[in-house]
Amino acid sequence: EAQVTQNPRYLITVTGKKLTVTCSQNMNHEYMSWYRQDPGLGLRQIYYSMNVEVTDKGDVPEGYKVSRKEKRNFPLILESPSPNQTSLYFCASSLRRGEKLFFGSGTQLSVL
Amino acid sequence: KNEVEQSPQNLTAQEGEFITINCSYSVGISALHWLQQHPGGGIVSLFMLSSGKKKHGRLIATINIQEKHSSLHITASHPRDSAVYICAVGMFTSGTYKYIFGTGTRLKVLA
């Protein structure tokens, strides 16, 4: 089944404790991206990748890192999480930029 | 002013009603997407448009590039259509490609 797999679904952590949210797609998509969703603000793009080893900042990249070593995986890394990173996070992919987006199921992150 | 504006923010309808959700944007775009987010949180892409009109089942999406406006129509609405509908635009800017999202329209369809 074609899908974007995102883990974990829920995560509670404490300030400063490094964490990684994983994202994997099985559709051979070139474009992958991360978003955060906050009440009243909607979805905002954090980082995106147009292909292996090609990544770029979105609108809200501060405090986040990404890597794209393989085409299927695009992990989101929070080196030192802070409470203002408490949010609902989504990974998405598309065959190429601008084409239909496929979303992961989301990760609800709480940073205490 | 947000670059992508949706209206209404909230909408309650009776089952069977015809529903319209609007999206206006202020930037040049390469494509516009309509997304559906169910109460469980998952997001599904409904349409991707760069011109004209698309139809899938009871859903119709239109876009007017000159007026920078898109509409999502739901015919014969059903309670299972209750969800948040999100408009997103894709655009080339400063050598990159980015997405800007509207804040969504929360639709509730009553039986």
What is the reported pLDDT for B93? 81
Tokens representing B81 are: 């259509």
What is the reported pLDDT for B6? 96
SS3 call for B81:
helix
Task: Decide if A56 and B96 are in contact by the 8 Å CB cutoff.
Answer: yes
Burial class (CB in 10 A: 0-12, 13-18, 19+), B17: middle
Tokens representing B8 are: 């209404």
CB B41 within 8 A of CB B54: no
Q: CA nearest B86: which of A42, A106, A32?
A: A42
Tokens representing A58 are: 């979105």
Tokens representing A8 are: 């974990």
Q: How far apart are CA A44 and CA B103, in angstroms?
A: 10
Task: Decide if B90 and A88 are in contact by the 8 Å CB cutoff.
Answer: no
What is the reported pLDDT for B1? 60
Task: Decide if A41 and B44 are in contact by the 8 Å CB cutoff.
Answer: no
Those residues with Cβ within 8 angstroms of residue B7's Cβ, 6 or more apart along the chain or in another chain: B21, B22, B24, B105
B35: chain A residues, CB-CB within 8 Å: 101, 103
Q: How far apart are CA A47 and CA A66, in angstroms?
A: 7
CB contacts < 8 A, A to B, total 56
Of residues A40, A42, A100, nearest to B101 (C-beta) = A42
B41: chain A residues, CB-CB within 8 Å: 88, 105-106, 108
The fraction of chain B above a pLDDT of 90, given in percent, is 84
* Exposure class string for A34-54: b at 16+ Cβ within 10 A, else e: bbbbeeeebbbbbbbbbeeee
**Tens of pLDDT along A72-94?**
999 999 999 999 999 999 999 99
What is the reported pLDDT for A2? 84
Indicate which of B98, B105, B106 best probes the interface with A, i.e. most A CBs within 10 Å of its own CB.
Answer: B98
**Tens of pLDDT along A19-44?**
999 999 999 999 999 999 999 888 99
B88: chain A residues, CB-CB within 8 Å: 43, 101
B101: chain A residues, CB-CB within 8 Å: 35, 42-44
Tokens representing A73 are: 């995986």
**Tens of pLDDT along B82-94?**
999 999 999 888 8
Cβ-based neighbour number of residue B107 at 10 Å:
21
**Tens of pLDDT along A59-72?**
999 999 999 999 99
